[in-house]
Structure 1
Amino acid sequence: MNDSQPAPRPPEAAQVPAWLKAFGALLRPWIRIHRTPEDVHALLPDDARPTVYVIERYGLSDTLILEQACAEAGLPSPYAAADELPIKRRRAVVALSRRPRVFGRQPHPTRSETLSLLADFVRAQPGHDVRLVPVSIFVGRAPDRESGWFSVLFSENWVVVGRFRRLLALALNGRDTHVQFAAPVSLRDVIADQPEPERGVRKLQRILRAHFRRIRAAVIGPDLSHRRTLIDGVVNAAPVQQAIDANASKEGIDRDKAARKARAFAWEIAADQSHLVVRSASFMLTGLWEKIYRGVHMNHFAELRKIVPGHEVVFVPCHRSTTDDALLPYLLYRNGLPVPHIAAGVNLNLPLIGPLLRRGGAFFLRRSFSDPFYSTVFREYMSQLIARGISLMYFIEGGRSRTGRTLEPRGGLLSMTLRSFLRQPDRPVVFQPVYIGYEKIMEGESYIGELSGKPKEKESWGALLRGLGALRDNYGAVTVNFGEPVFLTPLLDRIEPDWRVATTNPDAKPAWLKAAVDTLGERILVNINRAAHANPINLLAVALLATPKHAMAEADLLAQLELYKALLSSLPYSERVTLTSLEPAEIIAYGEKMQWIRRIAHPLGDVLTVDAKQGVLLSYFRNNVTHLFATASWVACCFLNNRRLARTSILRLGRLIYPFVQAELFLPWSEEEFGERIQKTLDFFIAQGLLEADADGRIIARGPGQSDRAFRLRALAHTLLPAIERYYIGLALLVKNGPHTLTAGELENLCHLSAQRLSLLHELNAPEFFDRSLFRGFIQKLRERRVVWADENGKLDFDLTLEEVAKDARVILSREIRHGILKLTPEKQAELTRNEVAASTEA
């Protein structure tokens, strides 16, 4: 390098050529720019350093779009910025790749002469620097519904297109142009540690190319043009090769046949995502959502956008409806993120539908992973996706919730994701919980049937065609809330500080893996619940289903809704929980409009009621948000059968029951935090006039049982009361039968039958009241906390303290409910259990 470099040249006004102005004027009506971030000035500090814009690919259209974006953002245009450069250039723009010229000397395809000259200058002038601003430009990433089907063919992708195709893209999709500015890069900082100037320039270009690849992958998705190469990589991976050898030996077949079997597994599993199909689906779904929903609302998406670059993102939404599979990917795509690869059951791989889903990004998995050969191939496929930085989406609840409750997590896919990360821990993994809240679901009728004992209808073309009739209805609004993300590395650091040792053996299954998967699954579901949305239908369901006949006087319903809104606003469950903006009267009017509730006119005041069938369906929407009212409902439960209670008694009983409520509803607090929340809730009720405290605040009392205040507390208590009744069923049956009498399975059957009987006697028509899985989870939590344990014969044992716990239920439950539970004799229970077991065996 020549040591005597010229000082910065005197500025000479850079004039935009007249022909370029003409092209810009012609292009401007066709271009509408969506700029990220909106306030670009926050990225560019006000200093004297000259600015050079860096774009990914050279093109006249990109230069004109950049100039228009700079003008709209109030930044110096590329031509005005050239005045400040220390080298003579017409415009302050650097393109990392260029098209070949038709005439003249061909430019180097990847080396920039401008960057080399600027690097020479900065090296020779210690007091000077140049800031490089990367700018990503995408034309027609997601065409609007009005753009026409033809426009999707000319949207942005990974292919470097020619001038004519670019012109068509501008004409068809120019009004959906995305320009993304990035934080500036200091040229001096990058080349400072390089002994040779050209090496510094090559390093800078590698950094910039990596940046543009990352942004392009984040905006339009990864390059998916090599599916066959990916499958070859799966089959040729060492774990699959070992599985091929094992399978050939086990089944006594030729190794080539075993290899073909592995390849068939991979082809059965692998997605074949097509940007064209994704864009076409986006186009079609826009019309569908507009037809069946009154609006689709998103919250906390900006926080997600910040973490996507540089992370492997795994979307883990709750699973409430079949539309979840399409709705969330659609929203991600329409808001600037790529469509993830979506895990789908192989039962959806129907003729015609399966290939379409596969092209949309679905990869298929079998319901059972009992075949270790298939399991190895599937796990390797997941590892290949993660290694390539392809975002994933799957439901950790296993299937759709038929009751509206958050279901227990299934650890299969979580375990595979975690093990894939351990093999290649360079790219950080983040799990993004997503809450999806509906006001009406298409599957309502089928859910009622399945909960009443009808078998689930298998997926088929016939079922699909029958389901098309549901598209004629309107299903209200949908709210999609993005919860607090779960970063995998910090979570592993807390569980096992030496987890990185496992990365030295890619096939290892460390002893702490199960604990990590369980903790991860629970944390995801907790964060889904912490992002819930309380919509008008949720609030109406919580209020009206708390009454025996599912009816309330309008004045009472207005007061109850006002209480719920005040409670959720004054004691927010978390910062990501959202609440309907409608006032109580508007909520009632909306419920009538959606035909969930019916008004009965009466001279003494109208009554709002729910029909029997609608009541069962509304229990689904009540269960969506039960966790939001858990603490308040517990406090209200304490005053169902008591006029006065000591504050310490409420706290003691709350801490006693909390582990079981926490496990069932995936609540976020520790026992100490739950105690603090009880204190705040008591203070809230006292401030609302629903409870009263004595002079020193130790004794809490409610008003007379027939007062409006007592009625409002009773209605609120009903939200958690069925869970407490279920717990008492389990404890009472254990105590009454005695230790060393029942196995865990027999106790579960007894609980299920007792709850069924109670629901018939007391009109407890909530479908989840006698749900086996809830009793199973309760018994498991009893065992985890060593309240009960299994003896050498598998029978449950416990000490006498359990009897005291069962007696505490008298504080909460009415005598009528307790009598109904205790009425079953041990002999009758044993007979029912034997019959139930026999029936299950025959089935």
Structure 2
Amino acid sequence: MQNTSSADITARQRAPWWFNLAGQLLQPWVKIRRDPAEPAALLKAGVTVCYVIERDGFSDALILQRACREAGLPNPMQPLAGTRRRRSVFALARRVGWVFGRNRKRAPNEPLRQLVRSLEGVPEHDIQLVPVSIYVGRAPTRDSGWFRVLFSENWVMVGGFRRLLALLLNGRDTVVHFSAPVSLRSVLDESGDMNPERFTRKIARVLRTHFHRIRAAVIGPDLSHRRTVVDAVLNAEPVRSAIAASAAKEKISQAKAWRKAHKLVMEISADYSHPVVRSVSFLLSNFWNKLYDGIAMHHFDKARAAAPGHEVVYVPCHRSHTDYLLMSYQLHMSGVVVPHIAAGVNLNLPVIGPILRRGGAFFMRRSFKGNALYSVVFNEYLAQLIDRGVPIEYFIEGGRSRTGRLLAPRAGMLVMTIRAFLRAPRRPVLFQPVYIGYEKLMEGKSYAGELSGQPKEKESLLGLLRGLKVLRQRYGHVALNFGEPIELNPMLDEASADWRTLGDDPDAKPEWLGTLTDRVAERIQININRAADVNPINLLALALLATPKHAMAETDLLTQLELSKALLEELPYSDRVTLTPMNPAGIIAYGEQMAWIQRVQHPLGDVLTVAPEQAVLLSYFRNNVLHLNATAAWVACCFLNNRRMSRSSVLRLGQIIYPFIQSELFLPWDADGFAVQLQATIDFFVRRGLLESTGDGRVLERSPGQDDGAYQLKTIARSLIQAFERYYITIAALVKNGPHTLTGTELENACTLTAQRLSLLNELSAPEFFDKALFRGFIQKLRERRVVWTDDNGKLDYVGALEGMVRDARLILSREVRHSILKITPGSSEKEISVTETPTPAPTVVPSHLPADVSDEAMHDRHVANEHRAHSSTPSTPVASGSDDNDAIR
């Protein structure tokens, strides 16, 4: 090898004067962000460094030299030690000339050949290749001009003039990504006796794949050409078979059937456009700034760390039309690829539809029934996205929640996702749950109207224009909480050991697929709830809606808010639940600022109230976090109509009711876990003085009705009491009509009518009280537990266990509520629910129809005497749970 003097090396290290001058001219226009911030830690000391950039360009060389200088890395413009190369950098794609205005590219085989040759015969010599990706204007901010968006980074290899404009417009948003170095000596040794030419091609291919993956991670996959995806769908074997079947069934030509399939896939497919995504993100920056006071993301770093190497499927809760816009915007601004989003075809409106489509939306019809060709085409399109590694987003609830609760999942998209993965399990699927929490909803009034019986207003361009008036209001803060991700592979392993063999049969529908899909759907909903964000409006709703007139004295409200925060802090529901840092006084002030509550001044102390129309809307935000309060609410419910109960009775009844509230609220515990939570909650109430524990911890007693502790327990209990009233309505309607009388649908209708009438008579502010879906879910759970089943005629039959549930209901629901339900519930004239006295001696609960201060005090001594007799006669038996009366359903 030719020797070179140190003087010659020093001379050659100096870049040409015009190169240095260009660097100085460019410096004010370019601001570099290195990723990682300290790339020197990646390098191996004492080993020659050669940088590899994706595209050849004068500006890229200038940016690379400056980034290396600022990071303290070897100069890329110096000669490469041990070789004849004049620079320590080369590009994978190099421009060598121009033909009719279009640049020709030459592969980097020659530089790689030189590097490989330099290692031959010198076993102690090594070169570390450092791939460096340079992106100019990846994500313009809201302070950037819209014109800059057009010159942001994309997949097209642009010419020198366009690159110059990009630097002038977006140079201050330049990212230089240093990847981990690759030892050329190690790769060469591992290749064995591979031909040098073949080895060179292999290294070039590996580097191209690496740059492609990094670029896809930073600016999204190269899906600019919609045609390629459409062609892949139409050429897939399942679609070709469906086209042939459609032609035969409809007696049309093969060509006409193909055109029909082509029209369907064009209706479905996204037309992803990087310039549109960047343009929309630029416009949304100003839109969010006008609409919200802030958008926060929690646990996003955990989600980003889990994503590499997976096919990521985002599965957020669905509460507003802004959900998917917020998700896409926040992901884009955080440097993550915008997912392709499954949108209802009702959103494919003029003007709006094409923009959504170019932002990554693909459209689906509400039902696939009666259209086999559409079903096959849609399934194949989704499979193509998954096969190409495109991140996807869809809402498994199927539609927006009108109540604030998570809806029962609709598993159609989940089934298609799992089957697409089973067909080609190249990249493991990762479901990423996301909780989206608002402080005010644009659709709030329409939701309340729909729950009250008004028809849903169809989406239209005119309706959208009318809805622009929402920009006049402020909607507080928004939180996006990323829940614990769910890997599909472990769940598949649990379902079937041989699931990997199903790829040979694309039409396979294993027996375990339905059960697996239900388990995945339930896990997603549970993990969404486990990532809840508790904002000030949630806490105000929990407290104020629990009072008859939705009003509280300020001192009581402050105490209740402090109790709610303490409960969430001392008994955390999950490590991903976030809680507002505001203190109780700050929460009240914020509620007034957001116009959710009003202050009524009074000489004896101010009162905070909620207007009737606001109370209906506020119930939505109470329901957002109802699951976090479920355990405490159940314990408190046990003492609504009881002064004293045994700890074992609270636990026993909790075990009975838990499967139903677990199904309704997607709670995370099994039966034993729920019992542990109940014990911890009881201990919390005892520590706070809301309950007193006697009899070696076996007996629990609350204070008299007029006491502050009893008032706080009652406020907590009322957040869940309507669920038990719905359960009682269902059982009453079923038993009052008798077995073999009602179908499931008829029972749902009877329950809904009863709840509506009860709501009118009692002025309930929660329209979800008569939501048919909640009754349907409870009836379904009764079926699953074989308490209720369908006979041969399609009518419902039931077991005697319903009688026990009725007796237990007396411990929770007051006599007045139960009698109102029994009176209103429709039933057959031949079958009625009789009310009889049960020989239960020594009731331990005060009649609820008496005033609290009178009934508690007047009967307290009798309760103590009765409990004492019970203990003295059977000391080993827990205290019997009493009820306010002895009604029974027979």
What CA deviation, in whole Å up to 9, does each residue of 1:275-307 have, x standing for no partner?
121111111111110011111111122122223
1:78 corresponding residue in structure 2: 76
Residue 244 of structure 1 is matched in structure 2 by 243
**Further displaced range: 384-393 or 776-785:** 384-393
What is the deviation of 1:740?
2.9
- Which residue number corresponds to residue 686 of structure 1? 686
Equivalent residues in 2 for 1:49-448, closer than 5 Å: 49-79=47-77, 85-101=81-97, 109-122=106-119, 124-194=121-191, 195-196=193-194, 197-370=196-369, 371-448=371-448
Residues 384-428 of structure 1 deviation map (CA, whole Å, 9 limit, x = unaligned):
222222222211111111111111111111111222112211122
Distance 1:372 1:831 in 2: 47
Q: Which residue type is aligned with residue 331 of structure 2?
A: L
CA gap 1:46/1:750 in 2 versus in 1, 3 angstroms: same
TM-score (normalizing by structure 2): 0.88
Is 1:573–2:573 an aligned residue pair?
yes
Letter of the 1:571 partner, please give it: L
Distance 1:191 1:247 in 2: 55
* One-letter amino acid matched to 1:613: E
Aligned to 1:730: 730
CA distance in 2, matches of 1:676, 1:75: 56
- Name the SS of the counterpart of 1:246 in structure 2: helix
Q: Distance in 2 between matches of 1:635 and 1:67?
A: 67
Task: Tell me: CA distance 1:200–1:294, structure 2 relative to 1, closer, same or farther (3 Å).
Answer: same
Distance in 1 of aligned mates of 2:247 and 2:146: 49
Change in 2 beyond 3 A, CA 1:651/1:41:
farther
Distance (Å, rounded) in 1 between the aligned partners of 2:497 and 2:45: 44
Q: d(CA) in 1 for partners of 2:230 and 2:104? A: 37
Between the aligned partners of 2:210 and 2:502, the Cα distance in structure 1 is 30
Question: Paired residue for 2:457?
Answer: 457
Q: What's the offset of the Cα at 1:571?
A: 1.7
Kept in 1: contact 2:98–2:104 (CA 8 A): no
Letter in 1 for 2:472: R
Q: Is contact 1:414–1:517 with CA below 8 Å preserved after alignment?
A: yes
What's the CA shift for 1:110? 2.1
Greater mean deviation of Cα atoms: 62-71 or 439-448: 62-71
Preserved CA contact (<8 Å) 2:91 2:108? no
Q: Aligned AA for 1:615?
A: A
Corresponding residue SS for 1:470? helix
The more displaced of 529-538 and 222-231 is 222-231
Cα deviation for residue 475 of structure 1 reads 0.8
CA change 1:593–1:107 in 2 (3 A) is closer
**Change in CA separation of 1:214 and 1:546 when aligned onto 2, cut-off 3 Å:** same
- Please say if residues 191 and 201 of structure 1, whose CA atoms lie closer than 8 Å, have aligned partners that are also in contact: no
| Cα distance in 1, alignment partners of residues 245 and 797 from structure 2 | 44
Indicate how the Cα distance of structure 1 residues 666 and 40 shifts in structure 2: closer, same or farther if over 3 A, else same: farther
Superposed CA offset, 1:10-50 (max 9, x none): 895534444333222222221222333335455x2664333
Local SS of the residue matching 1:599: strand
Moved more, 327-336 or 28-37: 28-37
What do residues 139-160 of structure 1 show as CA deviations (whole Å, max 9, x unaligned)?
A: 1112122221211111111111
Moved more, 233-242 or 287-296: 233-242
Indicate the residue corresponding to 1:836 in structure 2: none
Alpha-carbon contact 1:436-1:481 (below 8 Å) kept:
yes
Which is worse superposed, 527-536 or 196-205? 196-205
Q: What is the alpha-carbon distance in structure 2 between the residues aligned to residue 824 and residue 401 of structure 1?
A: 28
**1:9-24, aligned counterparts within 5 Å?**
12-13=9-10, 14-24=13-23
Write the distance in 2 (CA, Å) between the matches of 1:38 and 1:825.
68
Tell me the secondary structure at the aligned position of residue 55 of structure 1: strand
- Give CA deviations for 1:577-605 in whole Å, capped at 9, x if unaligned: 11111111111111101100000011111
The amino acid across from 2:666 in the alignment is: F
Are residues 809 and 133 of structure 1, via their aligned partners in 2, closer, same or farther at CA, if it must alter by over 3 Å? farther
TM-score w.r.t. the length of structure 1 is 0.93
Alpha-carbon separation, structure 2, partners of 1:644 and 1:40 = 66
1:714 aligns with 2:711: no
d(CA) in 1 for partners of 2:297, 2:610: 30
| Amino acid corresponding to residue 95 of structure 2 in structure 1 | R
| 1:839 counterpart residue number | none
CA distance in structure 1 between the partners assigned to 2:65 and 2:685 by the alignment: 60
CA RMSD of aligned residues (A): 2.5
Please give the alpha-carbon distance, in whole angstroms, between the structure 2 residues aligned to 1:293 and 1:806.
48
- What is the one-letter code of the residue matched to 1:165? R
Q: Paired residue for 1:841?
A: none
* Matched letter for residue 48 of structure 1: G
Shift of 1:696: 3.1
Alignment partner, residue 816 of structure 2:
816
Shift of residue 350, structure 1, vs aligned partner = 2.0
Q: Distance in 1 between matches of 2:402 and 2:685?
A: 33
Q: Which residue of structure 1 aligns with residue 545 of structure 2? A: 545
How far the C-alpha of 1:831 sits from its partner, in A, is: 11
CA distance in 2, matches of 1:203, 1:650: 69
Residue 676 of structure 1: CA displacement?
A: 1.3
Say if 1:705 and 1:107 are closer, same or farther in 2 by CA, change over 3 A: same
Deviation at 1:695, TM superposition (A): 6.4
SS at match of 2:701: strand
Deviation at 1:76, TM superposition (A): 4.1
Alpha carbons 2:219, 2:337 under 8 Å: kept: yes
Q: Any conservation in 2 of the 1:214–1:309 contact (CA below 8 Å)?
A: no
Instruction: Please report how far the alpha carbon of residue 567 of structure 1 lies from its aligned counterpart in structure 2 after TM superposition.
Output: 1.5
CA deviations over 1:107-139 (Å, ceiling 9, x no partner): 982234444344445564444543333222111
1:434-465 per-residue CA deviation (whole Å, 9 max, x = no partner) reads 11111111111211211111111111122112
Separation in 2, partners of 1:127, 1:207:
24
**CA-to-aligned-CA distance 1:597-652 (integer Å, 9 cap, x gap):** 00001111111000000000000111111111111111211222222222222222
State the alpha-carbon separation in 2 of the partners of residues 774 and 422 from structure 1.
Answer: 34
Alignment deviations for residues 526-552 of structure 1 (CA, whole Å, 9 cap, x no partner): 111111111111111111111111011
Structure 1, 172-181 or 93-102: larger mean CA deviation? 93-102
Identity of aligned residues (%): 62
CA contact (8 A) 1:483 1:528 kept: yes
Q: Alpha-carbon deviation of 1:319?
A: 0.9
Q: Is the Cα contact below 8 Å between 1:94 and 1:112 reproduced in 2?
A: no
Distance 1:548 1:153, change over 3 A: same
Residue equivalent to 1:34: 33
Do the aligned residues in 1 keep the contact of 2:342 with 2:361 (CA within 8 Å)? yes
For the residue of structure 2 that corresponds to 1:99, the secondary structure is strand
How many corresponding residue pairs? 823
Structure 1 pair 740–297 and aligned structure 2 pair: CA distance change class (3 A): same
The 1:120–1:638 alpha-carbon spacing in structure 2 relative to 1, beyond 3 Å, is farther
Q: In structure 1, how many angstroms separate the alpha carbons of the residues matched to 2:77 and 2:536?
A: 55
Residue pair 1:123, 1:188 contacting (<8 A) in 2 also: no
Per-residue CA deviation, residues 51-83 of structure 1 (Å, 9 max, x unaligned), is 333221122222222233334444444357x67
